[in-house]
Amino acid sequence: MTDKVLLVTGGGRGIGAAICRLAARDGWDVAINYAAKPGPAEEVADAVRAAGRRAVTIAGDVADQAAVVRMFDKAEAALGKVTSVVANAGIVNKVGPLADMPVDVIRRVIDVDLLGAIWTAREAVRRMGRSHGGQGGVIVNISSMAAVFRGAGGFTPYGIAKLGVDALTEGLGKDVGGDGIRVCGIRPGLIDTEMQNDTGIENRLERFGPTVPMGRAGTADEVAEAVVWLLSDKASYVNATTFNVSGGR
C-alpha cells in the first residue's frame, strides 16, 4: 500500500489515541475523530506530527450516519483518500441492571457502539472498495471481551453492541474480502484507560486486575500494537476474524 491514510474514530483518548500515535510511528497519516472534546484530540494530532506524519482532527458523532459521511469527506480533503479505518469510538454510558436502565441510555450505547461501527464500515467500503473505484484497504473494529461474556456484570447493552460488532467483522469481511478490503477485529480485555472511570465502578483495575490470568490490566499501547499489526501488510491474509487482547481472560 503506497498511500497510508488512516481514519480513527474516537481517536482522542485511550486506545484510540494510542492507535493514532503508533500508526504515525509506522508511517501513517492520521485523521483523528472525536465526539466532543477537541483538546485531547489536538494533543494526539501534535504527537502524530512530531512523528513526522500529517494529522487532522475531525469532530463528529459516529451514531449519526450523515456525520460519518462528513467525517470521511473532511479526512480526504485534508489528507487524501482514506486507505484504512479503525472503528474505535465507543461508550459504556451506565453500568447496572438492565431493568433499571433508562431507554435513552440503552439506545445511546447501541447507537454509538454498534450502529456507529456499521455506519463507519459502510462508508469505508464505499470509499475503499475496488468496485467503488478505491484501492482496497483494512477496517479494524474495536470490540470488547464484554461480547464474549455477553455483557454480564451490568454491561448488557454494551456487551450486546460489541457482540454485534463481532458479527459485523466476520460477515462483512467475508463479503468484501474479494473487493480488496480486509475486516478484522480486536477484543480488548481489562485495559488501563479512562473509560474504566466511565463504568462508575470504583477501583475497577485494582479489583479485577489480579483476576486476569496474567495478573494485571493491559495498557492501551498493548492493544494498539495489535491493531497496527492488523493494518500492516504483515497481516495480509488475516480477514473476517477477531483477536482477544485480554491477558488470557
Q: Which domains does the chain have, with CATH numbers?
A: 5-245 (3.40.50.720)
Sheet with 181-188, strands from edge to edge, namely 55-59, 29-34, 5-8, 84-87, 137-142, 181-188, 241-245
So what's the pLDDT on residue 48? 98
Note the pLDDT tens digit of each residue in 34-90: 999 999 999 999 999 999 999 999 999 999 999 999 999 999 999 999 999 999 999
Mean pLDDT of the chain: 95
Q: Which residues are catalytic?
A: 158
What pTM was estimated for this model as a whole? 0.96
Q: If we measure between CA atoms, which residue out of 1, 111, 131, 134 comes closest to residue 64?
A: 111
- What contacts 234, CB < 8 A, 6 or more positions away? none
119 pLDDT band, cuts 50/70/90, is very high
